[in-house]
Amino acid sequence: MIDTFVIVPTYNEADNLDDLLQQILDLPTPVGAIVVDDNSPDGTGDMADRWAATHPAAVHVIHRPAKLGLGTAYIAGFKLAVHQLAAERILTMDADFSHNPRYIPDLIALSRAKHVVIGSRYVPGGGTRNCSGRRIFLSRVANFVARALLGLKARDATAGFRLYRREVLLSIPLDEIFSSGYSFLVEMLFLCQRRGWQIGEVPIIFEDRRKGQTKISRQEIFKAQYTVFRLFLRRMRGGEPRRPAIHVSPANDHRQL
């Protein structure tokens, strides 16, 4: 039985999807995939359907009518993984190989001790490859601002390569999350930390996408700035009281990873 699923939002990722799903299914730890496709005109959704037909237990597909935002894609995948597939661990990652599947076992291993695990560029051993100086600069500035204004403890607060344990997602009112784009990642981390969930990081090398075009627009950058400012005001008001740190229960670790 597969109890770990990776959510992969897609839009025009036909160049990458076959290789990505093959590498996920070939991992030494049983891991499934949930492809959330936003009506890709290049046939990505049809490609995902073929994988689901040949690997019905491991690959699941959610079809959406249009590009509705990264955050809402993740929420759709969370709901399927938690409520229908009874997943114990749910990961998020990009489809463009900027997040390499080879790191997934490391994230799973650390989830024995942490509730949320981040594939991090900014811890010892992590880094970037083939990224422009501008992109690295923007990433570091975004992380500095998010950590400074929101009190986030993770070194890589904007990373999209993450693992959430089941209980984390059940504790968060997903339908009340305001952000829909890349700023969703910051808001999720803010909510996890406010609830006292234990957050860990494992080093990864983030690589610029191999094929296709980046999906980050100037509009997404403005939305992220607004999200950080909105959450900063919420932090200043106190928001929901932060609970004491919630320790990982050995009873929840009975499944073999």
pLDDT tens for residues 13-35? 999 999 999 999 999 999 999 99
> d(Cα 216, Cα 120) in Å, to the nearest integer?
19
The token pair that represents 226 in the structure block: 């607004």
pLDDT at 1 (0 to 100): 87
**Cα dist from 5 to 65, 112, 151, whole Å:** 23, 16, 29
> d(Cα 164, Cα 76) in Å, to the nearest integer?
15
> d(Cα 125, Cα 120) in Å, to the nearest integer?
9
Q: Is the pLDDT of residue 257 over 70?
A: no
pLDDT digits 0-9 by tens, 141-168: 888 888 889 999 999 999 999 999 999 9
Unique residue bearing structure tokens 């390569």:
161
Q: Is the pLDDT of residue 45 over 60?
A: yes
pLDDT digits 0-9 by tens, 96-142: 999 999 999 999 999 999 999 999 999 999 999 887 888 788 888 88
Helices (H), 122-217: 133-150, 166-171, 184-194
Helices (H), the chain: 14-25, 44-54, 70-79, 104-110, 133-150, 166-171, 184-194, 218-237
Between 77 and 224, the more confident residue is 77
Please give the domain boundaries of the chain with CATH numbers for all domains. Answer: 4-239 (3.90.550.10)
